[in-house]
Amino acid sequence: MSSALASRDQLRRAVLVAPVMGDPAVNQIVVGTPTVNAPGTVSVFTVDAAGVATCAFTYHEDADPRFGQALATGDFNGDGNVDLLVGAPPSHAFWIPGPLSATSAVLPVTLAAGMGELGSAVAAANVDGQPGDEALIGNPDAVIGAAEAAGEVRVVTGAALDHEVLPALRRHDPGPADFFGIAVGALPFCTSGCGTAAAKSRSLVLVGSASRALTFFKLAAGDADPRTP
């Protein structure tokens, strides 16, 4: 990744507004603060009726200065609580099972080693239609074949986020400096019984790059279908 882009990303804070403490009646904000040399942090704030934010607790990883560069929420172990997914480029991601508290465990997402900017974008998606979300981990600086910084998105499933789905999501025509995976998101998509109590859904995965945005559907069956919106 270019030095200018890397410097910008190292200073980028991630912010979420989500009931990660298990109390939807209390406004909660999660702020990721990556650094260059000191341990990066992820802080959970509560916000009162007057708009005053108070830090409830903070997480950090001593070996990951850029811990907190990307944040997402999901239910990865299928227990009904909101979990937190944390990106820590250039090579890690972590998840914190909810509801979050000062003593919650910070657990590593199991990822095969990869050079680049792995963890600079994260999202939660239900790609198999089963209880529990999968983790999407962007690596926009990944080398694909001879194309440097073509980028990819890794998909990790399992109740402990310990099973990486292969192959990773990539463009069919990877090009250099496309930074595919620099932004990742997901949108619930009804697949059957829509509008009824028996409705089933899975996620439409959205991936941004330097040149275009792509959507992917039907990932679990190994028939990922990239489309350009």
Q: Over its length of 229 residues, how does the chain's per-residue pLDDT go in tens digits?
A: 444 444 545 557 899 999 999 988 899 999 999 988 888 999 999 999 898 999 999 999 888 889 999 999 999 999 999 999 999 999 999 999 999 999 999 999 999 887 789 999 999 998 877 888 999 999 999 999 999 999 999 999 999 999 998 889 988 889 999 999 999 999 888 878 888 888 877 888 899 999 888 777 655 444 444 444 4
CB within 8 A of 172, min separation 6: which ones?
Answer: 226
Handedness of CA 142, 143, 149, 154 (dihedral sign): negative
Calculated CA dihedral for residues 181, 116, 6, 17, nearest 10 degrees: 50
CATH class given for the domain over 3-216: mainly beta
| pLDDT value for 11 | 59
pTM beyond 0.95: the answer is no
| pLDDT value for 10 | 55
Cα distance between residue 201 and residue 198, in whole Å:
10
| pLDDT value for 224 | 46
97 in Cβ contact with 81 (< 8 Å): yes
Strand residues in the chain grouped as ranges (E): 14-17, 27-33, 41-47, 53-60, 70-74, 83-88, 92-96, 107-108, 121-125, 134-139, 152-157, 163-169, 183-192, 200-208, 213-216
Cα distance between residue 185 and residue 154, in whole Å:
13
* Three-class SS state of 3: helix
CB within 8 A of 218, min separation 6: which ones?
Answer: 224, 225
* Three-class SS state of 189: strand
142 in Cβ contact with 114 (< 8 Å): yes
| pLDDT value for 198 | 81
146 in Cβ contact with 134 (< 8 Å): no
